[in-house]
Amino acid sequence: MTRTLTYGNVTIAATPAEAGVNTVVRVANTGVEEAAFQVEVSVKVGGEVSSHRFWFQGVPPGETGEQDATLAGQTRTDDLGKPEIYLDDLRRIG
């Protein structure tokens, strides 16, 4: 069961899996010039919180960058229900 969080130009999708929570981050460049972004995300499953910083470089104007990572890998996520998603930090760099 996937949980999704959208905030401005960022969308985060978290899907529990056997190895942890598959987390996909998409950031849209709504500006008129190529840009880089730093996005820090936390995912909470049960009592465990895992964080990851995503770096998006060279996202063209009007395009969306996408990256993924597995978070909360120490917990059996199939028994703990939906993950909670937190957008800890969002920065446009350049």
Domain of residue 18, CATH code = 2.60.40
Backbone angles phi, psi at 34, to 5 degrees: -55, 145
39's tokens: 């996005």
Could you report how far apart the first and last alpha carbons of the chain are, in Å?
A: 36
Q: Check whether 13 has a pLDDT greater than 70.
A: yes
Q: What is the mean pLDDT of residues 21-35?
A: 96
pLDDT the model gives residue 1: 83
Domain of 59 in residue numbering reads as 3-93
Q: CA–CA separation, 84 vs 73, rounded Å? A: 14
| Residue bearing the bigger pLDDT, 76 or 40 | 40
Report how many domains make up the chain: 1
Interval 81-91: pLDDT, tens: 789 999 999 99
Q: CA–CA separation, 8 vs 27, rounded Å? A: 9
Using the 8-state DSSP alphabet, how is residue 44 labeled?
Answer: E
Q: What is the pTM of this model?
A: 0.91
| Residue bearing the bigger pLDDT, 22 or 77 | 22
pLDDT the model gives residue 75: 54
Interval 44-82: pLDDT, tens: 988 889 999 999 999 999 999 999 999 976 555 455 678
